[in-house]
Amino acid sequence: MARFVEVHPRDPQPRAVAQLVAMLRDDALVAYPTDSCYALGCRLDSRTGADRIRRIRHLGERHHFTLVCSDFAQLGQFVHLDNTAFRAVKAATPAPYTFILPATKEVPKRFAHPSKKTVGVRIPDHPFVRALLRELGEPLLSSTLLLPGHEDPPTDSWSIKEELDHVVDAVVDAGEVGTTPTTVVDLSEGAPEVVREGAGDPERFR
């Protein structure tokens, strides 16, 4: 049965954050709110997390996960940034954007694009998520919580708990959350390419 954890949306309680970090370090899979919508997240070196996310969402082996980072310094450990990408990402974050960039050796090969060697990264503008990531000290391997047969991600934490009670380890409630996934921008080839329009304003990358 999943643990239901309520946190303050603007000033998350350190005890609740520490509790969730302890669970993540013990290989937990967590449903958590972001500045765009709900997501599923686990540690990058989780033994079971990626496969559990694939089963929940009915995804194939080639699904591209996102590394959700606490800040720009952490993001820079996992992707290569030329000067143009550096300025673009720095100016646009934290915000509901996912950037596709060349992966460093810190990213396990199974999570990078098989031919392009790229990975998605993002820095959310959400007090709880950033507190969680700071306490964890590493990114979350993450994917939008979009269930099979649904057009939009769920927004109600109790409904998520009822739906996923036996397949996730915790559901976090931090107040209102949207239904629109991030805007995805591919910066791996130099000029930005908007791959998906979402919660972040895509016009700044046109």
- Amino acid at the residue 62: R
Query: Would you say 30 and 167 are in contact if contact means Cβ atoms under 8 Å apart?
Result: no
SS3 at position 55: helix
Task: Give the pLDDT of residue 115.
Answer: 86
The strand pair at 183-186 and 140-144 is best described as unpaired
For residue 158, name the pLDDT band (cuts at 50, 70, 90): very high
Q: How far apart are alpha carbons 6 and 25 in whole angstroms? A: 19
Task: Give the pLDDT of residue 132.
Answer: 97
> Token pair for residue 127?
């007090």
Q: Answer yes or no: is pLDDT of 53 > 90.
A: yes
Q: For 187-203, what is each residue's pLDDT tens digit?
A: 999 899 999 999 999 99
Question: Taking the domains of the chain in order of start, what are their residue ranges?
Answer: 3-205
SS3 at position 137: coil
Q: What is the mean pLDDT of residues 114-139?
A: 95
**Averaged pLDDT score across all residues of the chain:** 95
Query: How far from 55 is each of 50, 145, 151, 167, 185, CA to CA, in Å?
Result: 9, 12, 18, 9, 26
CATH fold, domain 3-205, is DHBP synthase (3.90.870)
The pTM (predicted TM-score) of the whole model is 0.95
Count CA atoms within 13 Å of residue 81 on its CB side.
Answer: 19
Q: For 55-72, what is each residue's pLDDT tens digit?
A: 999 998 878 899 999 999
Task: Give the pLDDT of residue 61.
Answer: 81
Task: Give the pLDDT of residue 183.
Answer: 98
Report the percent of the chain where pLDDT is more than 90.
93
Q: Order across the sheet with 66-68: list the strands.
A: 3-6, 170-173, 30-33, 38-43, 140-144, 66-68, 118-122, 97-102, 183-186, 193-196
